[in-house]
Chains A and B, each alone.
Chain A
């Protein structure tokens, strides 16, 4: 075990190895590692941001949905109210129409009856007069005996 010229050779080899490592091995590897670390950190940050965005979007979507539901319920409520109102109004109108028609019918029937009554009375009075003429065999002055005729008519 002695120190000899091998020491020199080894020292030179060591120096060359360290220099080579310093120039061609260490810098590219470390640069790649650092670049990748940065890329990963960026990716993580981006995914975190995306997650936050997604959460916000979900929140706003659920909010919108709730609003829409409330609005829809409102509209349905209004529609129901309106429908009821329309039904009420129509029923009311129908009633009124019916009453009106019925009243009109009544009035017409009354008028018809009155007219028929009048006709009948006239015909009866004419008949009575004709009968009386036959009985009396003479002409009765309708105008002179109108009081009798009238009395007859009212008795009918």
Chain B
């Protein structure tokens, strides 16, 4: 634990991603990447999120392969409950016809949920394991091996999600409304040509606030929760009741944030499909 580290070091160690970049000496990791700028890869975020995404897809794909009209097993029922929950949410909010929205909502919900659940795993376990692997396998100081296991505490991931949704919003806005989308941006809320610049500023801020708030909400909630877990972990033996209470509370936050992300995605896409 934090015995030979200061509190600041301990917190920073937990809040730093494992980074990978290419320098003139070849592939470099972590501290060597401090100056790499944009072309740095957070390999822990990538690995965990992709692993969890593949877990989601393999579970649901195996259920999809076994799906028939007979009496379903318990696993099948559980998967179908999730599907029906997402389908019901989509149908009650999104009234257009689109083959993308429902699978998109399902992917976001389950994937974000799985990534958020990583927050429940005691915060020292996986980083410690990674440190041991780094120390024994590669001869690296375990304090220089970083491992953030909750991908949703990485802005890159939340922005990747929200920008993906944003791209779909823009695509469908133009596809459904065509020039009407531009008109919607420029002639609202003041329906007069003199106000076009004012309208554009207002509407564009509204438009860009959507992906920004989407990404920052998820990131902020999970990052803050992670930080509190770290702070609780530092207070010694009294962390046990506190950790339990915070984890129990966090169990509410985890699905809630996944649901909010899914719900807002559906709402934004439904707004993109509707003509005013």
Interface residues of A (CB under 8 A from B): 1-11, 13-15, 17-18, 20-22, 24-26, 28-33, 35-36, 39
Give 12 pairs: A residue, B residue, CB < 8 Å, sorted on A: A3-B38, A3-B159, A5-B38, A6-B154, A9-B41, A10-B156, A17-B107, A28-B65, A30-B102, A32-B64, A33-B67, A36-B69
Known: A6-B41, A25-B61. Is A17-B46 also a contact (CB below 8 A)?
no
- A153 to B62, alpha carbons, bound, how many Å? 142
Contact status A7-B160, CB under 8 Å: yes
Interface locus among B79-87, B134-142, B203-211: B79-87
Contact status A14-B164, CB under 8 Å: yes
Interface locus among B1-9, B49-57, B255-263: B49-57
Number of A-B contacts (CB under 8 A): 121
Contact status B38-A11, CB under 8 Å: no
B161 located at the interface, meaning its Cβ lies under 8 Å from any Cβ of chain A in the complex: yes
Contact status B57-A25, CB under 8 Å: yes
Contact status A13-B37, CB under 8 Å: no
Contact status B103-A7, CB under 8 Å: no
- A25 to B102, alpha carbons, bound, how many Å? 11
Contact status A7-B104, CB under 8 Å: no
Q: Which residues of A are found within 8 Å of B83, using beta-carbon distances?
A: 26, 29-30, 33
Number of B residues whose C-beta is below 8 Å from A?
A: 47
- Beyond A28-B64, A35-B69, 4 additional contacts (C-beta under 8 Å) are A3-B38, A13-B160, A18-B164, A21-B107
- A14 to B107, alpha carbons, bound, how many Å? 9
Contact status B56-A17, CB under 8 Å: yes
Known: A5-B38, A7-B159. Is A29-B50 also a contact (CB below 8 A)?
no
- A43 to B38, alpha carbons, bound, how many Å? 60
Q: How far is the CB of A36 from chain B (nearest CB, A)?
A: 5
- A96 to B154, alpha carbons, bound, how many Å? 126
- Interface of B, secondary structure class, is helix
- A112 to B229, alpha carbons, bound, how many Å? 145
B147 located at the interface, meaning its Cβ lies under 8 Å from any Cβ of chain A in the complex: no
Contact status A21-B57, CB under 8 Å: yes
Q: Which residues of B are found within 8 Å of A29, using beta-carbon distances?
A: 60, 63-64, 67, 79-80, 83
A-B residue pairs, 5 tightest by C-beta:
A10-B160, A32-B67, A6-B156, A22-B103, A26-B103
- A33 to B67, alpha carbons, bound, how many Å? 8
Contact status A6-B60, CB under 8 Å: no
Residue-wise interface mask of B (74-97) relative to A, using a CB-CB cutoff of 8 A (1 in contact, 0 not): 000001100110010000000000
- A32 to B63, alpha carbons, bound, how many Å? 10
Identify the closest chain A residue to B54 (Cβ): A17
Contact status A6-B46, CB under 8 Å: yes
- A18 to B57, alpha carbons, bound, how many Å? 10
Contact status A30-B157, CB under 8 Å: no
Contact status B155-A1, CB under 8 Å: yes
Q: Which residues of B are found within 8 Å of A24, using beta-carbon distances?
A: 61, 64
Residues in B22-42 with C-beta less than 8 Å from chain A: 36-42
Q: How far is the CB of A12 from chain B (nearest CB, A)?
A: 9
- A7 to B38, alpha carbons, bound, how many Å? 10
B106 located at the interface, meaning its Cβ lies under 8 Å from any Cβ of chain A in the complex: yes
B100 located at the interface, meaning its Cβ lies under 8 Å from any Cβ of chain A in the complex: yes
- A31 to B83, alpha carbons, bound, how many Å? 11
Known: A4-B37, A29-B63, A29-B83. Is A21-B160 also a contact (CB below 8 A)?
no
B111 located at the interface, meaning its Cβ lies under 8 Å from any Cβ of chain A in the complex: yes
Contact status A5-B41, CB under 8 Å: yes
- A28 to B50, alpha carbons, bound, how many Å? 23
Contact status A15-B164, CB under 8 Å: yes
Identify the closest chain B residue to A25 (Cβ): B60
Known: A13-B53, A21-B60, A29-B79. Is A3-B156 also a contact (CB below 8 A)?
yes
B270 located at the interface, meaning its Cβ lies under 8 Å from any Cβ of chain A in the complex: no
Q: Which residues of B are found within 8 Å of A15, using beta-carbon distances?
A: 164
B122 located at the interface, meaning its Cβ lies under 8 Å from any Cβ of chain A in the complex: no
Contact status B67-A10, CB under 8 Å: no
Q: Which residues of A are found within 8 Å of B199, using beta-carbon distances?
A: none
Contact status A17-B102, CB under 8 Å: no
